[in-house]
Amino acid sequence: MDVTVKGAGIFGLSIAWACVERGARVRVIDPNGTGGGASGGIVGALAPHVPENWNGKKEFQFQSLIAAEDFWKNVENYAGIETSYARTGRVQPLADARAVELAQAREETARELWRGKADWCVVSAEALSGPLPESETGLYVHDTLTARMFPRQACKALAAAIVARGGEILRDGTDAGQVVWATGVHDLERLSAHSGRPVGNAVKGQGALLEFDMREAPQIFANTVHIVPHWNGTVAIGSTSERDYAEADSTDAQLDAVLEKAFAAVPALREAKILERWAGLRPRAKSRAPMLGRHPLEEGAFIANGGFKIGFGMACEVARVMAALVLDGIDTIPADFVPEVSL
């Protein structure tokens, strides 16, 4: 075995797939199974940073979102099942003249920063399709870079593709070869305990899945809520971000408040059947950037962590740079992503 990946969430599976694609023999180990943690959620909004104040993190995410279509198409070819990925874009209502002015300025910077590979445009309702939230100005931002993905389906497809190429997905097993730790909240807590200061933390999220078919429509971001149409005729609503919570996997009135915002934005959703209410813990590194590179505590091993809210959107580039580091010793990871904790 050339590589052992500990953790079968989006980072672990994507890195494993990139290594398999390079010809490596790969084993993925996770006692909770595929997508057993935060990556087994339901929202899946792969949304870009706004096109301004450009930096390494924004460029990294942009490159990943651009690479995603080919990445997931290749996964689907080997998996033989739907990945759920589609770059369907996103709509955001503009509330007032200041919001319109800011959005129009970003329209200009997007032409430069996104280099013609995607658009950020201010448009009227007539230029859009599908259910739309009300806009006080009658105008919306429509970007064509945002994509959607049903997280647990994506993890299922990645696992199937890895196995189809000769890899292993196990709940228990021994480490062999190069070892990558992609264990999410558990490892962040361990790093914080070791350093005596917060390196990262768990952030609880709550979301809901509705039976409502708008699969060809762009996703909507309104009233701080994501409304994400999925490939299977469902719509995901999310999510909360809770630092303080009593139970990690329970839903409560905070999700009800999120749903009310979604219903206010798209009234047709109010009559839809709620298929699932989901809650889980997401790993947030202190810097809010992914934590990639040499593992601070496990000698000779590597770490890929901190995918809070951006894990699926950054997965393609995370997989590429980590495979290069693990297999070739070539480090192209942005300096801001290097783990802060020292041995």
For the segment 90-101, the average pLDDT, to the nearest whole number, is: 97
Which residues on neighbouring strands pair with residue 147, listed in sequence order? 46
- Tokens for 272? 């839809």
Q: Summarize pLDDT for 180-220 with one digit per residue, the tens.
A: 999 999 999 999 998 888 899 999 999 999 999 999 999 99
Confidence of residue 343 (pLDDT cuts 50, 70, 90): very low
Please give the Cα distance from 34 to 2 (Å, whole number).
Answer: 20
For the segment 270-276, the average pLDDT, to the nearest whole number, is: 98
Q: Summarize pLDDT for 217-231 with one digit per residue, the tens.
A: 999 999 999 999 999
The answer to whether 93 and 136 are in contact (CB under 8 A) is yes
The answer to whether 246 and 266 are in contact (CB under 8 A) is no
Task: Give the homologous superfamily in CATH for domain 200-285.
Answer: D-Amino Acid Oxidase, subunit A, domain 2 (3.30.9.10)
- Tokens for 189? 């807590």
Name the pairing type of β-strands 90-93 and 45-46.
Answer: unpaired
Whole-number Cα distances in Å, 28 to 18, 86, 94, 310: 13, 26, 44, 22
Confidence of residue 120 (pLDDT cuts 50, 70, 90): very high
pTM over 0.85: yes
Query: What was the pLDDT predicted at 288?
Result: 85
Whether 78 shows a pLDDT value over 80: the answer reads yes
- Tokens for 118? 């995607």
Q: Summarize pLDDT for 57-73 with one digit per residue, the tens.
A: 999 999 999 999 999 99
For the segment 21-29, the average pLDDT, to the nearest whole number, is: 98
Percentage of the chain modeled with pLDDT above 90:
93
What are the sequence ranges of the domains in the chain? 3-86+147-194+287-337, 200-285
Pick the CATH number of 3-86+147-194+287-337 from 3.40.50.720, 3.50.50.60, 2.40.30.10, 2.60.120.10: 3.50.50.60
CB-CB neighbours of 97 under 10 Å: 11
What's the 3-state SS for the chain? CCEEEECCCHHHHHHHHHHHHCCCCEEEECCCCCCCCHHHCCCCEECCCCCCCCCHHHHHHHHHHHHHHHHHHHHHHHHCCCCCCECCCEEEECCCHHHHHHHHHHHHHHHHHCCCCCCEEEEEHHHCCCCCCCCCCCEEEEECCCEECCHHHHHHHHHHHHHHCCCEEECCCCCCCEEEECCCHHHHHHHHHHHCCCCEEEEEEEEEEEECCCCCCCEEEECCEEEEECCCCEEEEECCCECCCCCCCCCCHHHHHHHHHHHHHCHHHHHCEEEEEEEEEEEEECCCCCEEEECCCCCCCEEEECCCCCHHHHHHHHHHHHHHHHHHCCCCCCHHHCCCCCC
